[in-house]
Structures are given as structure tokens and as C-alpha cells.
Copies of this chain bind each other. A is one copy, B any other.
Amino acid sequence: MFQLLNTSVRNSIRRGTLTTPHGILQTPFFMPIATRGVVKTLSSHDVEALGSPIVLANAYHLWLRPGLEVLKAMGGLHAFMDWKGAILTDSGGFQVFSLAGLRKLSEDGVTFQSHIDGAKMTLTPDRSMEIQRTIGSDICMVLDVCTELPASEEDLRHALELTTRWARRSKEAFLETREGSINPDAALFGIVQGGTHLDLRRESAEALMAIGFDGYAIGGLSVGEPFEDACRVLEHLDAILPKDRPRYFMGGAQPHEIVAYVQRGVDLFDCVLPTRNARHGLLYRFVHDDLTRPDFYETIHVTNEKYKMSKEFGYLRHLFSIDEMLGLRLATQINLEFYLELMERIRASIV
């Protein structure tokens, strides 16, 4: 499903195509976040018009609302949100570990209280696969264990070994649920953990490669570690992970970080920053064509007085000043356009 088209002699940047049941995607690419089946403020038609071929949804959130019964009745998330492009789903692990209350981790899975109504629920690797199959995701993620930081090496190793066992169970469940599912040709990605410990990262990657996945995500970064540490982990994994499988950086990345990460062999990104910042009136825009300059872009506060008379931003500023939600939407479109254009420029640079 992944085809490598070009690589660079200077660094590990790569250009390729990722074929999914809902379209062929040019890599590297960026996924707008549609956690609960909607890119906040945008219709599926808007996202399509922006030119994004994929969105990222979340198994945990969709499991809670609208729930599997509704998703089944609707024929999956594509039909529910009227989205023709591809969908990648997070397994829900990260959300269970960050949002839910009273977590109890066991070999089997994680028991927790719903952050919505406090209901006791259990997420297991099998259950996460069932949810993602019901969603009809094109790219499913294994359920992984997220460790609270700081953590001892022993805790990290323990979490990592459990993540590996869950990855194996996830793959089994993924294969078992293929038949009769609404999107049988979906892909499954493993998630490499191990924090900033290079040895643990290697162990994790090799264990996952032994199981075999359609792609490999790098989890546990963008959690507060220095930028240089993230780069070091990516460089390390670049030499270990198979070249013929896509790599997905899970976690927020500023535009200049995306440039740094693609140079270290990453193909897929998602980030809440363009959409969340937009809703606070913070807009991204290009300043220089040379993406290797750290200042190739800038952010502006559209609510600033100086944009009052601006033909470009005056109306948007007015919408923010009267608390009109159209402003949030127009800003979201501007920022997603920026991130998508950034990926386009990155791809164009790889020839």
C-alpha cells in the first residue's frame, strides 16, 4: 500500500504514495483533526475543498459519542460525516490515559470512567479494533500504553512490553474482524514507544517489526521533551524502521518541526495547533520560500488593532470582535490551508 517514489542524498526525507480504500495519498502529508467526526468548525465539504485527502478521528471519543450502535446504523464514519476521503483513527489509548478518570491498567486492558458520564468502561486491544472496524477507518492504530512522565526506565520498559503484547493482540483482532467489516482493506499501524531511551526505542521497533505492520507510528514524543531529543529518536528509528513502510509522527508539531521531522524520514503528521490556534485568532503565514530557514513562517494575532483597516484581515478581525463563529471557521481554513500548503511545498522539494 506504500510506495516510495523519491529519497534525498542529503537526508532521510522521502516522497511516496500511500494507497487506502478511500484514495491515494501523497506523502509526506498532514491530517486535520476530526476527533469526534468533525474538523471543528468545518463541514466535510470544507475539508475536501481545502484539498485534504484524509482526516484523523478518535476511537475513544466516537465510542462514547455517538457510540457504536449509531455508527453501525449509519454504515460507518465515512457515511455518517459524509466524508469521501480517507480516515485514520487513533486507538483511544492516549485519551483513556489523559481524559478518563479512575484508570486501572491490567494485562487485559484498561478500565476507566467515561469523562462524559462517569460510566465504567474497559478498553482492550480487541475492543479498540472492534471500534475502529465499526468506524470503518482506513488506517487503524494498535492500542498502546501511555506512561505518565517522568517515569523510571523500569516503568517505561514495563509499559513498552505490555504495548508490544497489546500490539500482537491488536493485530490478531484486526485480522479476525476483517471479514464482514465495512472497510476490510484497512491498514494497521503499530506504535513505537520507549520515550527518549534509544535502546528501548530499538527494542520496541524491532518487536513490532517482528509482528509486522502496514506502517509504524512513533508515539511518546511531543510530550514536553526537548526538540533535539525528538530529532535524536527519529534519527535513531530512521535507521531501524523498514524504508518501505510509512512512518507517522503522533503528536503536535509546529511548522518548523514538521520540516525537521520529514528530513528524518517521517511521512504522516497530525497536529491540533493550526485548528486550535485559529480559534484563538492566531494565524500562520509564510514569510520565506526557503523552508530550511527557522523563520520561514510567522504567526499573527488577527484581533490586533493594526488589522482594523486591513483588506486582508479587517473582516476577520470584525468577526472576532463581535464573537461571530464564522470568524473561527475562516481562521481554521486559513491555518489548515497553511499546513496543507507546507506539506505541498515539502513534497515539491523532493525530486
A4 CB within 8 Å of chain B = no
Interface centre among A82, A321, A324 (most CB of B within 10 A): A324
Cβ of A328: which chain B residues have Cβ within 8 Å of it?
Answer: 325
- Copies of this chain present in the complex amount to 2
Q: How far is the CA of A330 from the CA of B153 in the complex (A)?
A: 50
Interface size range on A against B = 20 to 34
A1 interface contact, C-beta 8 A:
no
For chain A, residues 23 to 42, give those with C-beta under 8 angstroms from any C-beta of chain B. 36-38, 40-42
* Residue A175 interfacial (CB < 8 Å): no
A318 touches B70 (CB 8 A): yes
Q: Which residue of B lies closest to A309 (CB)?
A: B73
How far is the CB of A66 from the nearest CB of chain B, in Å? Answer: 5
Chain B min CB distance to A149 (Å): 29
Q: Are B318 and A41 in contact (CB under 8 A)?
A: no
Question: A350 in the interface, Cβ–Cβ < 8 Å?
Answer: no
Rounded to whole angstroms, the CA-CA distance of A322 and B318 in the bound complex is 27
Within 8 Å of chain B (Cβ to Cβ): is A299?
no
Within 8 A of B (CB), among A289-325: 308-309, 311, 314-315, 318-319, 321-322, 324-325
Known: A308-B66, A309-B70. A81 touches B324 (CB 8 A): no
- Is B37 a contact of A318 with CB atoms below 8 Å? yes
Contacts known (A37-B318, A80-B315, A321-B65); A326 close to B42, Cβ less than 8 A: yes
B322 and A65: CB pair below 8 A? Answer: yes
Taking a contact as CB atoms under 8 Å apart, the answer to whether A326 and B66 are in contact is no
A43 within 8 A of B: yes
Q: What mask results when residues 70 to 110 of chain A are scored 1 for a CB within 8 Å of chain B, else 0?
A: 10011000001110000000000000000000000000000
A326 to B42, CA, bound (A): 6
Chain A residues at the B interface, C-beta cutoff of 8 Å: 36-38, 40-43, 65-66, 69-70, 73-74, 80-82, 308-309, 311, 314-315, 318-319, 321-322, 324-326, 328-330
Top-3 shortest CB links A-B: A73-B309, A66-B318, A325-B325
